[in-house]
Copies of this chain bind each other. A is one copy, B any other.
């Protein structure tokens, strides 16, 4: 496929999406070194698209770059997560108020379909997060603010990463699906107040989860002493 084809994805986009996915999933944990050379060799591209991807990831605070030192997966800054929580809540709640008036039968059916699939997903974490994205994006669309999804996503990515880092040891996903259901039920019942309360509780529950994770695994979060990582184990063992 030629470069001009609509389906063409440049090497930069491919690299960016893969790195982002691996960082958010926890496969590349906070503090992991991201050498331009190593990544280029691993992904069979040159340093250029790798570097451009790292710049974009640094712009959304998923990566920290120290010139002449190295690039690293950023540690989770709890203040940054709190800010993301606030932004996300503000946008989603504001949209929900509009959604109460605009909900129609097809949209309601689509929402319920996502909920059913979430219940069916069980403990498949990957699937749950895919459907979680779909649910919240759909909810924004019902409010007539699908265009605000990018802003939500740029905040949500930090919440998702923090959750996934400790998801195995902490809460199951079933209550979250129940909270989603409560929001939709309140909307369907024409009770925007209850919907707002339910959504706010849901988002707060997510944040509380993260704070529990922080207590269990403080090494994943920033602390004043570790802000500037150093290289480790450069020479090969022999």
Contact = CB atoms under 8 A, between A and B. Distances in A.
Interface of A: 3-4, 10, 12, 51-52, 55-56, 59, 67-68, 79-80, 82-83, 86-87, 89-91, 93-95, 145, 147-148, 151, 154-155
**In terms of DSSP, what is the predominant structure of the interface of chain A?**
helix
Contacts of A82: 147
Contacts of A86: 91, 94-95, 145, 147-148
Contact of A151 (B10, B55, B155): B155
Copies in the complex: 2
B56 A145 contact: no
B83 A87 contact: no
A178 B12 CA distance: 47
A89 to B, nearest CB: 7
Contacts of A67: 3-4, 10
Contacts of A56: 55-56, 59
Nearest to A82: B147
Contacts of A93: 90, 94
A59 B56 CA distance: 8
Given A4-B67, A10-B67, A52-B52, A151 B59 contact: no
A91 B151 CA distance: 11
Contact of A148 (B10, B12, B83): B83
A145 B79 CA distance: 10
